[in-house]
Amino acid sequence: MTLTSTRFLSLFGTAAALAMFPATTSSATDVTMTFDADNFDEPLVIDNQYFPLVPGTTFLYKAETEDGCEWSQVTVTSDTKDITIGTDTLTVRVVEDFEYEDEDCGGIDPDELVEKTFDWYGQDDFGNIWYFGEDTQNCEGADNCEPGSGAWEAGVDGALPGIIMLADPDAGERYRQELAEGVAEDWAMVMNLNAHPELRLDDALPPGEWDDCLVTKEWNGLEGGSIEQKTYCPEAGGLVLVEEHGGKLVRFELVEGSATAAGADAFTFRVPPKD
C-alpha cells in the first residue's frame, strides 16, 4: 500500500510536487479511529469496493521512464500473519509487492528484482481496511536480498495499525496509514470520489476510462515533500494508477496480458471476482 512504506506503491516527491498536491488543506477533516480487536470478526475477508484483496489475485503495474521500465507485481496471497496488540491477537492477510527495474521493458525478470515487501492487512466489521505493518527487503536479484528500512509491525515497540482505506470515504478526510513513531508515519487524504482516469500505456487494462473512481493523496510525515496520488476504481478491481512525484512525474498504470518472467510461467492478470 508504497514501494517502501505504504501500500501498494510509494516513491516520494519534492517541493514542486507539493505545490501541485498540497499536503494540508483548510477543509481537511481528520478521521481518527481507535483499534479494537472486537471489531474484527472476519479480518481476512477484505471486500471494500475500492481495495478488495481476494487471495490468488495478482495486479501488475508498469511505469515507463527514460531509463526503461519499472514493474510492481502485487499478489494477494493465501498466507496469514498473527498480529498481537496488547492482549489481543488478530490474524491478517499477507500481500506481496515485488518491484523490478527493467532497462529494455521486456517484462519481469527475477534477476532485475530490486525490492520485495510483505504487507499485512485486515478489514473491520464496518468495512475499513487496516494496515498492520510490513517487512521490506532491498534486493539485487531474487537471490540477493537483505532487510530494508521502513519495516514495522503493529504491537511491536508501541506501533499501532493505521487505515489504508476507509469504508465510506468523503472528500477532504485525512487519516493516518502508519503509526510507528520515527519509522513509518504516512498519511492519506481523500481528494475526489468522482474521478474519470484515462490510462496512457498501450497495454493498460483495459485501455480507456472508468467512472466513479476514488483519488487519494499520500505523503510521508517523516520526509518533507514526499507525496504521491493514487486512483482506485471499483469497476477495475481496485488500484489502477499511481502518480509519483520525485522531481519528475512517474506514472504506474495497471496493465494487462502476460509479462513473462525468466524461467517462470507467463503471468496473467486476474480481476477479483464480483458477487
pLDDT in tens, 133-186: 999 999 999 999 999 877 889 999 989 999 999 999 999 999 989 877 766 778
What CATH number should be reported for the domain whose range is 15-264?
Answer: 2.40.360
Element (H, E) at 8: none
Q: What is the pLDDT of residue 237?
A: 87
More confidently predicted of 262 and 106: 106
Task: Determine the number of helices (DSSP H) and then strands (DSSP E) in the chain.
Answer: 1, 18
CA atoms within 13 A on the CB side of 166: 22
Closest CA to 82 of 126, 48, 122: 122
pLDDT, tens only, 213-249: 999 998 876 666 668 899 999 988 899 999 987 667 8
Band (pLDDT 50/70/90 cuts) for residue 16 is very low
Write down the mean pLDDT value for the chain: 82
Report the pLDDT averaged over residues 90-118: 95
Q: What is the pLDDT of residue 203?
A: 87
Report the pLDDT averaged over residues 59-71: 92
Report the pLDDT averaged over residues 259-275: 36
More confidently predicted of 27 and 125: 125
Q: What is the pLDDT of residue 112?
A: 96
Decide the pairing of beta strands 249-254 and 238-245. Answer: antiparallel
Where is average pLDDT lowest: 17-31, 117-131, 145-159, 244-258? 17-31
pTM for this entry: 0.83
DSSP state string for 170-191: -TTEEEESEEBTTTB-EEEEEE
Please provide the size of the chain in residues: 275
